[in-house]
Amino acid sequence: MFYFSKSKYCDFKQCPKIPWLKKYRPEEYVVDAATQARFTEGNEVGDLAMGLFGDFIEVTSLRADGSLDLGKMKRLTAQYIAEGREVICEAAFEHNGLYCAVDILKKNDDKYDIFEVKSSTSPDHPVYLLDTAYQRYVLEKCGVKVGKVCLVTVDNSYVFDGTLDLKKLFRITDVTELVGSRLSDVEGDLAAAEKVMRSFNEPPIGISEACNSPYMCPFFDYCTRNLPSPSVFDLYDFGYKKKLALYRRGVVSFEDVLRDGSGIDSEIRRRQVELTLSKEGPYIDREEIAEFLKTLTYPLYFLDFETVQPAVPRYIGTRPYSQIPVQYSLHILEENGTLRHLEFLGRPEEDPRRRLAERLISDIPEGVCVVAYNSAFERGRIRELAEAFPDLKDRLLGIAEHVKDLLDPFRKGYYYDSKMGGSFSIKSVLPAIYPNDPSLDYHSLEGVHNGEEAMTMFLRLPQFQGDARAKAEQDLLRYCELDTFAMVKVHAALIRSVRSS
Ligand code: SF4
C-alpha cells in the first residue's frame, strides 16, 4: 500500500525529492531552532483554535508510547460523524493509504466544512491551498460531503485586553473556490508521488528555485554536499535567485565567482571572495575603524535584549507576535578597563515590560553611550516600551537616542575576516576573531545557545519547579550575558586592530 499524508503532499509539491529523502535519508533532515519554534507555536495556536466554534469533540488519541493511534482516531471520527456531532477537531480520514487529519470539521446541514488552522497572519500562502485541496480530496474519497473550505489564521491587529477573544484573535478566510481549482491536480500528483516513493533510487533532481520556496529546504546541505566549500551559495548579501542564476551558468566555486565577476559587484563580496581564496588575514580599514571608535564615549553600556513573540498575546495591550522584551544583559566598560555586569530577567507569569523598563532606566544613566549589535532592534524595543509607558517615555527615548551600533564596522566592510563566512552576526564574528577561546563559545553554554532557544525556554519557565526552574533561569542569564560579553571582546579587538598599525 502507498501511504501518504497532507504534509508529505505539500513537501512533494515543493520538490518530489523532499518526501523521498525524508523516507530514505531521514538522518540528513536539518531542522533549525527557528523552524522548531514555529512548530511549537503552530501546535499552541491549533489547540486554541479548537474552541473557535464553542463546544467541540477532539479525536486525537495516543498510544502508550505517545504516538498517534490513527486507527482509533479514524474509528472515532466515523462514529462522531454518524452521530451528527457539530464540531469535530483533528478528525482523521484514510482512503487507500492517503491519510489526513482535519483541524476543525464543522457541520453545515448535510455537509461538513473544513477549517485548516495556521499560525501565520496571512492566508495567502501557496502551500495552504495545496494542503486543503489534499484534505478535500481525501474526505470526498471517504464519502464525506464537503461544504466550505476555510483557512483560520491569526489576526495581528487584535489587541489583547485581558480576556482572550478567539473570534477576534482568529481570522477566517473562505478559500472554497480556490481549493476547487486545485482539486483536479491532486489525483495526478498522487500518482506521480507514488511512483517516486516506491523507487529506491534517489530522484535525480538538482538545485532549483524550489529549494528556497516556499520554504528553505531542510535538505539543502545534503543536496549541495558535493559542491566546493565555500560555493556561490555562501556569497554575502546576494539573493538566492541571483546565486541560482550564477550556479546555472556554471559559476559554482569562489574561483569561478572571481573569474566571472558578476557576483562580486559589491566591495564586501569582492573582499569575501578574494580573502577566502588568498587565505590572507583579515582586511582592516584602520582609519574608518578609528573614526567609528571615536563615536563611542566611555563609560560604554553594552546592551542586549532577549524577546519573545507569542502568537497568542498574553500581556494586556500586546498583539499576536508583538516583540516583547523579557530580559537584558548590560556590560559596563570604563575607560580604565574596569568591567561590570548587570542583568534583568522577567517572569513569564506576569507582563515583564514595566519592571524591565524601570530597571533599564535605573541601570543606564542619562546621556551615556549605549552599544548594541544591530542597534535597530534594541532601539525599536526601547521605543515600544516608551509608547507603552508614557511616564517613562522621556528617559527611555533618551536611551534610544544614544544607542550606537557595533555591527557598523563589519556591515560597512571596515573589518572582514574570511572565517566569518559571509555572515556578520556576532556568532560568526566572535569565533573568527577569537577562534580558540572556549569562554566565548556559544556551544559550551548549557540549555540555551541561540535566540530561538531563549524564547522557547522563557515561555516554558512555568513548567519548571524549584531547582529546575532556577537552572533554566541561569541558562537564560548566562546566554544573554555572553551576548554582551561578546560585544566587549569585539570592541577590544577593534581597538587592537587600530593600534597594531
Ligand atoms: S534541497 Fe532542493 S533539490 Fe534537494 S530536496 Fe530540497 S528542494 Fe529538492
Model confidence pLDDT, tens digit, residues 459-481: 999 999 999 999 999 999 999 99
Ligand 1: atom nearest CA of 218 is 6
User: Domain range for residue 395?
Assistant: 288-499
The label of the residue with cell 584602520 reads: 286
Q: Is 292 helix (H, G, I), strand (E, B) or coil?
A: helix
Q: Are strands 170-174 and 403-405 parallel, antiparallel or unpaired?
A: unpaired
pLDDT at 37 over 80: no
Q: Which of 217, 243, 244 maximizes ligand 1 atoms within 8 Å of its Cβ, making it the mutation to test the pocket?
A: 217
Is 487 part of any domain? yes
- Same-domain status, 248 and 388: no
Q: How does pLDDT run across 305-347, given as a tens digit for each residue?
A: 999 999 999 999 999 999 999 999 999 999 999 999 999 999 9
- Same-domain status, 436 and 413: yes
Q: How far is the CA of 248 from the centre of ligand 1 (A)?
A: 15
Ligand 1: atom nearest CA of 20 is 5
The protein residue whose alpha carbon is closest to atom 4 in ligand 1 is 223
Single out the residue of 284, 233, 231 nearest to residue 256, CA to CA.
Answer: 231
Beta carbon of 146 within 6 Å of any ligand 1 atom: no
- Same-domain status, 445 and 356: yes
- Same-domain status, 263 and 159: no
Beta carbon of 210 within 6 Å of any ligand 1 atom: yes
Q: How far is the CA of 13 from the centre of ligand 1 (A)?
A: 11
Helix %, strand %, coil % of the chain (to 5): 50, 15, 35
Is 207 part of any domain? no
**CATH number of the CATH domain containing 457:** 3.30.420.10
- Same-domain status, 253 and 158: no
Q: Which of 197, 209, 223, 231 maximizes ligand 1 atoms within 8 Å of its Cβ, making it the mutation to test the pocket?
A: 223
- Quick one: pLDDT at residue 33? 66
Is 217 part of any domain? no
Beta carbon of 207 within 6 Å of any ligand 1 atom: yes
Burial class (CB in 10 A: 0-12, 13-18, 19+), 483: buried
Q: Which of 29, 220, 224, 227 maximizes ligand 1 atoms within 8 Å of its Cβ, making it the mutation to test the pocket?
A: 220
Kindly give the residue spans of alpha helices, DSSP state H, lying in 118-266: 126-141, 166-169, 176-198, 220-223, 240-248, 254-260
What is the distance between the alpha carbons of residues 131 and 9, in angstroms, rounded to a whole number? Answer: 7
Beta carbon of 16 within 6 Å of any ligand 1 atom: no
Q: How far is the CA of 205 from the centre of ligand 1 (A)?
A: 7
Question: For the whole model, what pTM was predicted?
Answer: 0.87
Please calculate the CA angle 303-305-306 and round it to the nearest 5 degrees: 150
Is 422 part of any domain? yes
Is 418 part of any domain? yes
Q: How far is the CA of 211 from the centre of ligand 1 (A)?
A: 5
Q: Choose the final residue of a domain: 245, 280, 315.
A: 280
Instruction: Please state the rounded mean pLDDT for residues 89-117.
Output: 96
Number of domains in the chain: 3
- Same-domain status, 323 and 242: no
Mean pLDDT computed over every residue of the chain: 94
pLDDT at 441 over 90: no
Beta carbon of 233 within 6 Å of any ligand 1 atom: no
In this structure, what is the dihedral angle of CA atoms 64, 29, 445, 479, given to the nearest 10 degrees?
-100
Single out the residue of 80, 155, 86, 147 nearest to residue 117, CA to CA.
Answer: 155
Q: How far is the CA of 227 from the centre of ligand 1 (A)?
A: 14
Q: How does pLDDT run across 215-248, given as a tens digit for each residue?
A: 889 999 999 999 999 999 999 999 999 999 999 9
Q: Are 368 and 398 contacting, i.e. CB atoms less than 8 angstroms apart?
A: no
- Quick one: pLDDT at residue 32? 72
- Same-domain status, 72 and 100: yes
- Same-domain status, 367 and 385: yes
Instruction: Please state the rounded mean pLDDT for residues 353-363.
Output: 98
- Same-domain status, 312 and 338: yes
- Same-domain status, 236 and 367: no
Q: Choose the final residue of a domain: 248, 264, 280.
A: 280
Single out the residue of 176, 139, 186 nearest to residue 9, CA to CA.
Answer: 186
Q: How far is the CA of 242 from the centre of ligand 1 (A)?
A: 17
Beta carbon of 449 within 6 Å of any ligand 1 atom: no
Instruction: Please state the rounded mean pLDDT for residues 449-455.
Output: 91
- Same-domain status, 272 and 163: no
Report helix angle 6-14 to 17-24, nearest 10. 120
Beta carbon of 196 within 6 Å of any ligand 1 atom: no
Is 21 part of any domain? yes
Q: Are 59 and 73 contacting, i.e. CB atoms less than 8 angstroms apart?
A: yes
The protein residue whose alpha carbon is closest to atom 1 in ligand 1 is 220
- Same-domain status, 359 and 454: yes
What is the distance between the alpha carbons of residues 345 and 187, in angstroms, rounded to a whole number? Answer: 53
Beta carbon of 224 within 6 Å of any ligand 1 atom: no
Q: How does pLDDT run across 417-429, given as a tens digit for each residue?
A: 989 988 899 999 9
% pLDDT > 90, the chain: 84
Q: Are strands 98-108 and 87-95 parallel, antiparallel or unpaired?
A: antiparallel
* pLDDT bracket for residue 34 (50, 70, 90): low
- Quick one: pLDDT at residue 447? 87
Is 268 part of any domain? yes
Instruction: Please state the rounded mean pLDDT for residues 279-283.
Output: 87
- Quick one: pLDDT at residue 178? 92
Q: Choose the final residue of a domain: 183, 198, 213.
A: 198
What is the distance between the alpha carbons of residues 37 and 117, in angstroms, rounded to a whole number? Answer: 17
Beta carbon of 12 within 6 Å of any ligand 1 atom: no
pLDDT at 35 over 90: no
The protein residue whose alpha carbon is closest to atom 2 in ligand 1 is 211
Beta carbon of 11 within 6 Å of any ligand 1 atom: no
What is the distance between the alpha carbons of residues 442 and 182, in angstroms, rounded to a whole number? Answer: 46
Beta carbon of 13 within 6 Å of any ligand 1 atom: no
Instruction: Please state the rounded mean pLDDT for residues 39-58.
Output: 89
Is 210 part of any domain? no
Beta carbon of 127 within 6 Å of any ligand 1 atom: no
Instruction: Please state the rounded mean pLDDT for residues 282-307.
Output: 96
Beta carbon of 15 within 6 Å of any ligand 1 atom: yes
